[in-house]
């Protein structure tokens, strides 16, 4: 087995081991497909996509309405920052809706934690139960719930999405709260977009800037001692959504995905894997937040919010950038190929190579 560098190890762990990217390992999707097929006999042609992509898509029988739905959790980051992580969790579910080609309409949320008068440590040392950084705060679960609820409300206000309601449980013990958001939107195209790359030669375009926040993937892989959650973004989140929808409405995008856990790395690798294709990514083309300096690991793995990737034929790049407009933030960061692996380079120096199908030796190593 070849030696894996830090980026390869962290990204491949996220892609091929961690449950966030491998729900199919613990949930029997075949049983869901059987169920959906049975229900489909009552509503022929209603189910367009689901489950398996960024979100599911269904056509409402008897109407021309096509709805997109997604549910997403953001639990562990809320130990460090309840308000900000609830905001970014809701934002992630909203971006999944947009990536399928829909404008989000409403959100439902669920929060589960312990008794409301029970005190918990909130901050970077929250997982340890004792603060050594000086930045943590001891608060009640009621105070933590208030912050989580505000985060959900704030992201709905920023994204112009109805907050219809949700659920609450105070019977969950432990420091990690359950924070779950479900979003539904209306498709704005004739048919939904999907994540997998479609054509070798297509250009890969990234919407949004990358910052130095969001090290969840590195932390989960055991390569960082402190989790630094992604920072909530306000105007940028709304602007990137409008840029994405502007491209989607032109009909020229071949694939679309939002950027969530493991950032650019996961979005590109999952799109390549889903299409049985590969990609070449030039990290020097990734737009960086003004005043920040990022290393290749940060450019690949950081989970900065308000970002999407999509692909278009080479001759349509200009049309895509025109649709986004001068005020939008987008750059061509690479192209699709037929190699079955993704190569991340910086100024032509290879920083990481991620195969679509790692060897058994690599998987065994990652699972230890």
Region 254-266 average pLDDT: 95
Highest mean pLDDT among 47-56, 120-129, 338-347: 338-347
CB neighbours of residue 84 within 10 Å: 21
Residue 11 DSSP symbol: H
Q: How much is the mean pLDDT over the chain?
A: 93
* pLDDT in the model for residue 200: 98
Q: Does the pLDDT of residue 218 top 80, yes or no?
A: no
Question: 57-104, pLDDT tens digit by residue?
Answer: 999 999 989 999 999 998 988 999 999 999 999 999 999 999 999 999
Tell the burial category of 134 from Cβ atoms under 10 Å away from its Cβ (0-12, 13-18, 19+). Answer: exposed
The parent domain of residue 150 ranges over: 55-192
Residue given tokens 């970014």 in the structure block: 88
Would residue 47 count as lying in a domain? Answer: no
The SS3 assignment for 141 reads helix
Residue 91 forms part of a structural domain = yes
Where does the chain have alpha helices with state H?
Answer: 6-16, 29-40, 77-80, 82-99, 141-159, 216-220, 235-250, 263-274, 296-301, 317-324, 360-367
Q: Report the number of distinct structural domains present in the chain.
A: 2
Mean pLDDT, range 170-175, rounded to an integer: 91
Based on the domain organization, do 266 and 160 belong to the same domain? Answer: no
pLDDT higher than 70, residue 10: yes
Per-residue b or e along 287-311, where b marks 16 or more CB atoms closer than 10 Å to that residue's CB: ebeeeeebebbbbbbbbbbbbbbbb
133-136-142 Cα angle (round to 5): 165
pLDDT band at 46 (very low <50, low <70, confident <90, very high): very high
Question: Is the same domain home to 141 and 248?
Answer: no
As a residue count, the chain comes to 368
Predicted model pTM: 0.92
pLDDT in tens, 238-254: 999 999 999 999 999 99
Q: Quote the pLDDT of residue 116.
A: 97
Q: Which of 173, 192, 211 finishes a domain?
A: 192
> How far apart, in Å, are the Cα atoms of 348 and each of 196, 239, 265, 345?
25, 31, 17, 5
The average pLDDT across 314-340 equals: 96
Whether residues 203 and 67 fall in one domain = no
**Last residue of some domain: 171, 192, 213?**
192
pLDDT at 220: 67
For residue 298, the SS3 value is: helix
């Amino acid at each position: 087995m070849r030696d894996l560098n830090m980026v390869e190890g962290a990204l491949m762990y996220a892609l091929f081991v961690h449950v966030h990217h491998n729900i199919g390992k613990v949930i029997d999707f075949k049983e869901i497909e059987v169920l959906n097929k049975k229900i489909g006999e009552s509503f022929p042609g209603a189910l367009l996509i689901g489950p398996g992509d960024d979100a599911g898509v269904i056509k409402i029988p008897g109407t021309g309405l096509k709805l997109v739905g997604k549910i997403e959790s953001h639990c562990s980051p809320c130990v460090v920052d309840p308000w900000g992580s609830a905001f970014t969790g809701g934002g992630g579910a909203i971006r999944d809706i947009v990536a399928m080609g829909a404008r989000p309409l409403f959100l439902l949320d669920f929060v589960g934690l312990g008794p409301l008068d029970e005190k918990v440590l909130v901050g970077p040392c929250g997982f340890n139960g004792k603060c050594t950084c000086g930045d943590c705060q001891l608060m009640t679960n009621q105070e933590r719930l208030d912050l989580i609820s505000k985060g959900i409300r704030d992201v709905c206000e920023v994204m112009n999405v109805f907050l219809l309601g949700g659920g609450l449980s105070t019977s969950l013990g432990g420091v990690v709260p359950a924070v779950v958001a479900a979003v539904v939107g209306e498709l704005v195209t004739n048919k939904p977009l999907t994540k997998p790359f479609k054509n070798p030669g297509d250009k890969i375009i990234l919407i949004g800037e990358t910052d130095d926040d969001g090290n969840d993937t590195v932390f989960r892989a055991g390569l960082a001692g402190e989790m630094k959650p992604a920072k909530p973004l306000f105007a940028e989140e709304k602007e990137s959504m409008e840029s994405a929808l502007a491209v989607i409405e032109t009909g020229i995008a071949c694939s679309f995905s939002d950027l969530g856990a493991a950032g650019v790395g996961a979005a590109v690798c999952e799109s390549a894997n889903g299409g049985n294709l590969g990609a070449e990514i030039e990290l020097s083309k990734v737009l960086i937040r003004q005043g920040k300096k990022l290393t290749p690991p940060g450019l690949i793995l950081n989970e900065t919010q308000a970002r999407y990737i999509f692909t278009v034929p080479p001759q349509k790049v200009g049309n895509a950038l025109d649709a986004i407009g001068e005020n939008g933030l987008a750059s061509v960061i690479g192209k699709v190929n037929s190699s079955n692996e993704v190569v991340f380079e910086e100024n032509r120096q290879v920083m990481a190579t991620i195969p679509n199908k790692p060897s058994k030796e690599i998987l065994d190593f990652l699972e230890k």
